[in-house]
Structures are given as structure tokens and as C-alpha cells.
Amino acid sequence: MHVLVLGGTTEARRLAEVLHPRPGLRVTSSLAGRVAAPRLPPGEVRIGGFGGAAGMAAWLREHAVGAVIDATHPFAETISFNAAEATATTHVPLLALRRPGWVPGEGDDWREVTSLAQAARAVRDAGRRVFLTTGRMGLAAFAPINDAFFLVRSVDAPEPPCPPHMELLLDRGPFTLDGEREVIARHRLDVLVTKDSGGAATAPKLTAAREAGLPVIIVRRPPTPGGVPVAATVEEAATWVQTLSGAPFGSASG
Ligand code: NAP
């Protein structure tokens, strides 16, 4: 069975690692092509958009795909809706793999918003030295803020418009708690802005923010397409594929 993994996340790569060695499965991972030097998963990899839902449907037919796993980032909304539409028209089973969102703990000062524009408005009341970890896209929302300093951390450099007082920290997770404490202290940051990406790789910043008494402006996730089953872990998603393919679990089950 040919499995298409829509990727761009740690979980997508891990899923490809688990599925690739299994007998009877052919795995293709799809990346958008946003990151200059992505960490490539094993198996086949295709890079670049499909051309909307219709383009994806054509790709599914042409490559005889038997199952799709949407393991894209929780904030990659368009591709998820395209996958729902493309698999519905081609009658290919679809599963969404979504790591659970973060939840605040004792001592956290979280301010929830639903967009980067709202996050930018919330920043004005929250601090003047901002740890901005929402990725390189969408910095335009913060560009008009000229009375705050932004430490922008992203994998690749953002494109303008960007905030006028900004320092760029090019880095990619996983991050450590000690490292996050150090970044906050060194730059004297007083507010953290993050998307609710979930997962352990980038969670230490939340602990470091709590310890340092920083408010956290957290952008909540957009909705997922209705009717699509959701797995919370790579293992659950791998079991779904295995059941669908009808093949027995091999020794290389990961
Ligand atoms: P998006 O807004 O949902 O998608 C925009 C367009 O990019 C899609 O319509 C599709 O083009 C193409 N695309 C997106 N993901 C693709 C994939 N895995 N394979 C092939 N084409 C893809 O996505 P985004 O928010 O720009 O994110 C792009 C990628 O970065 C995703 O794969 C996501 O997993 C990853 N990522 C996103 C975030 C985030 O915060 N948004 C964070 C970390 C990683 P066509 O319509 O032409 O098919």
C-alpha cells in the first residue's frame, strides 16, 4: 500500500521512520518546501505544493495512494482542509496526526489569543522585550510595534515587514530548559509569544517563562476539518496504517 504522509513536523518524520521499514508499505513524505535545508525522512520525498485540493486529488490517483496521514503542523490550516477535500473526492482514507496542545500549569500567566494580529495587540500590554517564537511567517502583524524589542527565533530568516527593533536567533528545536533560561536572561526578555504547537521539543520555553515570571501570549489552534479521525501519537497513526493495509505487524514495527 502506498501511504502519503503530509509532513513538515517532527511527528511526520518519525512516522515515516516507523512505517518505512514495514513490509508491504511504500511511504512518500510530502514537504511544502518552506525550510531551506529540511531534515529528510526515510522513504520517498516530494517537495512543493500540489496545486490545491484538486491537484492533490490528481496526485493521489496518479500515484495510487491507499492512505493519507495529515501530519502537518496544527497551524498549517490550508493543507489540512485540502487533504480533507482531496481524500473525500478520491475515497482515500485520511487520518490527522495532531500532537496534543499545551495546557497551563500552576504559576503560569497565559493570555490566550486566536490570531497573530491579536497576539500583537496583546504584546502592547504585556511587555517591552518580546521573545517571539511564532515562526518566520506572519511577522508583519508585529511590524508596526516600534516601542518594543523583539528576539525572533526561527529556523530560517523571516522576510520583511518585520518589527523595527529586532534581533534574529536562527535555531531549531529541540530546545533545553537550561538553554531557554539562558536566552530569556541574556536578552532580558519580559514576555513570550508562541503558537500552541504542542509537543515536547519546544515546550521548555514555557517552563522557563513561568520560572522567570513572564506572561505568555499563546495563539490557540485553528479548527481541524470536521469528520477526520485524529491520532495523538505516531504509534496510533502507525497502527491505523497497519490495520488499513491488512499486513501483519513485522519485527520492524518501531
Ligand atoms: P498551509 O498554509 O496550510 O499551506 C499552504 C500551502 O502550502 C498549501 O495549500 C500547499 O500548497 C502547500 N503545503 C503546505 N504543506 C504542504 C506539505 N506538507 N506538502 C506539500 N504542500 C504543502 O501551510 P503552512 O502553514 O504554510 O505550513 C507549510 C509547512 O510547514 C507545512 O507542511 C507544515 O507542516 C510546516 N510547518 C508549519 C508551521 C506553522 O506554524 N504553520 C510550523 C512548523 C511547520 P498547494 O495548495 O499548492 O498544495
Encode pLDDT of 191-208 as tens digits. 999 999 999 999 999 999
Q: Give the CATH number for residue 229.
A: 3.40.50.720
Are residues 228 and 142 part of one domain?
no
Q: What is the pLDDT of residue 246?
A: 85
Say what the pLDDT of residue 116 is: 97
Task: Give dist(CA 10, CA 173) in Å, integer.
Answer: 10
CB 31 less than 6 A from any atom of ligand 1:
yes
- Is the CB of 16 within 6 Å of ligand 1? no
* Buried/exposed code over 119-136 (b: 16+ C-beta within 10 A; e: otherwise): bbebbeebbebbbbbbbb
Percent of the chain at pLDDT above 70?
97
If asked whether residues 240 and 144 sit together in one domain, one would say: no
The pick from 11, 63, 73 for probing ligand 1's pocket by mutation, whose C-beta has the most ligand atoms within 8 angstroms, reads 73
When pLDDT is cut at 50, 70 and 90, the band that residue 253 belongs to is very low
For residue 251, tell me if it sits in a domain.
Answer: no
Summarize pLDDT for 148-180 with one digit per residue, the tens: 999 999 999 999 999 999 999 999 999 999 999
* Pair 160, 238 in one domain: no
Task: Examine residue 254 and state whether it is found in any structural domain, yes or no.
Answer: no
Residue 21: pLDDT over 80: yes
Do residues 179 and 214 share a domain? yes
Q: Do 208 and 183 fall within a single domain?
A: yes
Whether 252 is in a domain gets the answer: no
- Domain-embedded: residue 250: no
Tell me: do 114 and 177 sit in the same domain.
Answer: yes
Statement to judge: residues 210 and 122 lie in one domain: yes
Indicate if 81 and 117 belong to the same structural domain: no
Residues 206, 239, single domain; the answer is no
Query: 21, 16, 20: which is closest to 5 by C-alpha?
Result: 16
Claim to verify: residue 89 and residue 31 sit in the same structural domain: yes
Angle between helices 177-186 and 204-211 (to 10 degrees): 50
Output the domain CATH number for residue 202. Answer: 3.40.50
Q: Which of 78, 98, 139, 224 to mutate for ligand 1's pocket (most ligand atoms within 8 Å of CB)?
A: 78
Please tell me the distance between residue 76's alpha carbon and the centre of ligand 1 in angstroms: 5
> Do 68 and 149 fall into the same domain?
no
CA distance 177 to 185: 12
pLDDT at 252: 43
Segments forming the whole domain that contains residue 181: 110-219
Q: What is the pLDDT of residue 250?
A: 52
Confidence class for position 254, pLDDT limits 50, 70, 90 = very low
DSSP secondary structure code for residue 245 in this structure: H
Residues 80-132 pLDDT 10s: 999 999 999 999 999 999 999 999 999 999 999 999 999 999 999 999 999 99
Residue 155, burial from CB neighbour count under 10 angstroms (0-12, 13-18, 19+):
middle
Q: What is the pLDDT of residues 214-233, one digit of tens each?
A: 999 999 999 989 999 999 99
Residues 212 and 119 placed together within one structural domain of the fold: yes
Q: Of all atoms in ligand 1, which is nearest to the CA of residue 78? A: 3
**Domain count within the chain:** 2
Could you tell me if residue 253 is inside a domain?
Answer: no
- From first CA to last CA, the distance across the chain in angstroms is 18
Mutate-to-test residue for ligand 1 from 79, 154, 156, 219, highest number of ligand atoms within 8 A of CB: 79
